[in-house]
Structure 1
């Protein structure tokens, strides 16, 4: 069994299963039995406003909203790393073809209510791939009354993603929304054998291609989820060697022009270094490190803080995956649990905390048999029979 805040038993001993948990043997790198990124999670100050923005402005589909979660004992601290008397409301929204966005709103005696600055450790943003950045930004401003943080920028020549246009806007997620449009083939993709981005779109909110088509004009899907880290090299190594990510490219701007600093929402005169990584068959993660500017907050947010966040992986065996993460420096929060009542009955899950403060949840949900599915046609993005190493065919 896994004890609170202590590493698990070795994977080979967990549940008497093979390290992969599926009988197929472990992948060269990565979490045994991983299938895909299950969801991205943001802690917001106003859950109603965040849901409305995700559905009405971005064109997502509300899949479920759970009753408030609270415990009279130490459960919240042990399993979620928050104050024991904290309570949480949770909703899940399907965004486009691949992304489950989980929204949390906490009431807690000790949470931080001020959102993170972009150069603070643990700051996140969500980026959407659109055909026309200016048009989508104008429509998003009209729909939601949000404001661009700066001008539309173009990645300069000489960078691996040169020719990409982007802009960031405020949002009720208490984290920016970024809109991006990119050339059909980016410069880094022209090298032989180079890993490539997942082709985006078309926008839909169901695995069968049905569901809401109300996305922004020209929206194709979530382009990436981004997180600010203090040590880019260390974070990249963890994502590649432990989580099984695949480095797509690095982008380094050694001196940020004034318009780019404004668009990023950071002090002028500094630099930003990024590592962009493929995560399984459907998702992309961007790690960013800001340098040469006034110091940001070095302490990542907790789950209950405004701007708190986590990343969840769908795996074939939660216990085996948790044991593996513990062996690779993560702290496992409590023991894996299986939900035995309510709309997510059958969901087995556990949180872990990485050495640099990112919470990584491992989860297994029985596709097609969750109780909530009996009362709605809305569907989260399921794992089905995906494997972590599945790849969408590359562009010609």
Structure 2
């Protein structure tokens, strides 16, 4: 009986999604946090452009000398306000607005250490790019379709949010080439339960 129980436990571990067998057991990515210079502008951009929904907002919280010494908040500033928004079936986005930040005010370039970007999935990247352009959003070049390698079948293009952050539109409605060589799957916002 112990052998059967051990066999079933091993099978369950093998069928679990990667990353669940060892380390911290997680269900997935809860949110991505980004700093924005103007919280209202950022919320309006995500709502108007992608249909995101604002859910919570807290603050402003003063960041006094005691809080700064705890290293709980960076960069140091007079205060911080946080808002959580939900976008489709993906992870939530947490927006931080720091008032009078003491850190760098320069937007990091995408190739710099510590820089990051958010990629929004769309089934129709051509229509998505047309929408961005028609609303005065700077699109950085034309969509690029990957024709080889694991990402074959994926089309992507970068654009700039109104405050200068680089973001991405990505599309692969027929899947990606890696799916032909492995049963493992990257999370797909158009099929979130898989």
Name the structure 2 match of 1:245: 52
Matched, 1:372 2:178: yes
Measure the CA separation in 1 of the matches of 2:50 and 2:91: 13
Matched, 1:287 2:63: no
Question: How is 1:253-292 mapped onto 2 (pairs within 5 angstroms)?
Answer: 253-256=60-63, 258-259=66-67, 262-267=71-76, 270-292=78-100
Measure the CA separation in 2 of the matches of 1:309 and 1:292: 22
Name the structure 2 match of 1:225: 32
Name the structure 1 match of 2:123: 316
The question of whether the paired residues in 1 share the 8 Å contact of 2:82 and 2:96 is answered with yes
**What SS does the corresponding residue of 1:220 show, helix, strand or coil?**
coil
Gaps of 5+ in 2: 1-14
Name the structure 1 match of 2:12: none
- Cα-Cα RMSD: 2.5
Name the structure 2 match of 1:140: none
Runs of 4+ in 1 over 3 A off after TM superposition: 208-212, 214-220, 383-386
Question: How is 1:100-179 mapped onto 2 (pairs within 5 angstroms)?
Answer: none
TM-score (norm 2): 0.79
Aligned residue pair count: 177
Measure the CA separation in 2 of the matches of 1:215 and 1:253: 38
Name the structure 1 match of 2:3: none
Over 3 Å counting, the alpha-carbon distance change for 1:218 and 1:377 in structure 2 is closer
Matched, 1:299 2:102: no
TM-score (norm 1): 0.41
Measure the CA separation in 2 of the matches of 1:253 and 1:384: 35
Measure the CA separation in 2 of the matches of 1:312 and 1:292: 28
Matched, 1:353 2:160: yes
Query: Which one scores higher on RCO, CA 8 angstroms, separation ≥ 6?
Result: 1
Bigger share in helix? 2
Gaps of 5+ in 1: 1-207, 387-391
The question of whether the paired residues in 2 share the 8 Å contact of 1:239 and 1:245 is answered with yes
Q: Deviation string for 1:272-306 (max 9, x for gaps)?
A: 01111011123100110111453x32221111111
**What SS does the corresponding residue of 2:179 show, helix, strand or coil?**
helix
